[in-house]
Homo-oligomer: A and B are copies of this chain.
Amino acid sequence: MKVGFVGLGAMGSGMARNLIKAGHNVTVYNRTRSRADELKPDGAIVADTAAQAASGAEAVFTMLADDHALEEITFGAGKLLESLPAGSVHLSASTISVRLSRRLTAAHRERGQHYLAAPVFGRPDAAAAAKLFVVAAGPQSQIERCQPLFSAIGQRTFVAGAEPPMANVVKLAGNFLITTIIEGLAESFALARKSEVDPGQMLEILTGSLFPAPIYKNYGAMVAHEKFEPVGFKLKLGAKDNRLVLSAAEEAGVPMPIASLVRDQFLAAMAQGMAEDDWAAVSKVVYKNAGL
């Protein structure tokens, strides 16, 4: 397929590379051009604008930092929305707000284009290894049409529903659940440490019994040993996703007390200079409040 790919950060460059490997014809765009040029040896064509990457494409992926970045390249004269051919499909893979996903659904429909929300679960190493989990939502026919693309970047594709924003809800819920794990572990290990229980020993017990999932092992190791390097996912981005889930909850009329609590922990972490740390470093706020 002829594919455009916009946004070549830690996640996007791995995904684009895997699309090329799978034999697709990929035109890439990134604001900082050097990141796009790095994909040339793999066979990527480099576009000067996002719109150019979209024009002539059957499908265009966007994988950008936040709502604002996506809005900037999408809406307005000569932007992506105007450049995408009728009948083509926009695959929004980044974590964006439910509200923007709703707006994109309407905007593409109006122009006779297609739109799928296709956020992914997984860190940059999973993106590089084509091991992402893709959570797609939108018209069934478009999901089927794009399945080869999803298969090129991920280990499994899930369908969240027929309306694109449904995938965004699921993605935000998933990220929210990770924050409950981090905060829950932080409180548990603060208790352990002040009770003279060895954190490593407690981690082994918890992950060897009730909580054997990798997610508990990975975050547990970070929290138990206060090792937050290398940075997998920046705290300020975690705070942004928390903001998105709270916005979605507000629009849907749902109180989410743990999400509210996590919001304040992230704010405290950022106020104390941890915005660029891994989001698991939010546990330091818990530790400090416990006098550790």
Contact = CB atoms under 8 A, between A and B. Distances in A.
A270 interface: yes
B268 A201 contact: no
A208 B158 contact: yes
A135 to B, nearest CB: 6
Contacts of A160: 197, 201-202, 205
Interface in A25-59: none
A258 interface: yes
Given A195-B98, A253-B291, A265-B255, A158 B271 contact: no
Contact of A210 (B177, B196, B197, B255): B177
Interface in A199-224: 201-202, 204-206, 208-213, 215-216
Contact of A206 (B163, B174, B184, B265): B174
A260 B258 contact: no
Nearest to A159: B201
B253 A271 contact: yes
Contact of A209 (B156, B209, B211, B290): B156
Interface range on chain A: under 10, 10 to 19, 20 to 34, or 35 or more?
A: 35 or more
Interface in A249-272: 249-250, 252-261, 263-265, 267-268, 270-272
Interface in A272-292: 272-273, 285-286, 288-291
A248 interface: yes
A87 interface: no
A290 to B, nearest CB: 4
Nearest to A288: B288
A205 to B, nearest CB: 4
Contacts of A192: 169-170, 173
Interface in A177-204: 177-178, 180-181, 183-185, 187-188, 190-192, 194-198, 201-202, 204
Contacts of A121: 209-210
A211 B177 contact: yes
Given A166-B196, A173-B202, A271 B248 contact: no
A115 interface: no
Contact of A166 (B133, B190, B197, B215): B197
B174 A209 contact: yes
14 contacts: A121-B210, A135-B205, A135-B209, A156-B208, A160-B202, A161-B201, A174-B210, A177-B211, A183-B258, A187-B259, A255-B268, A271-B289, A272-B289, A272-B291
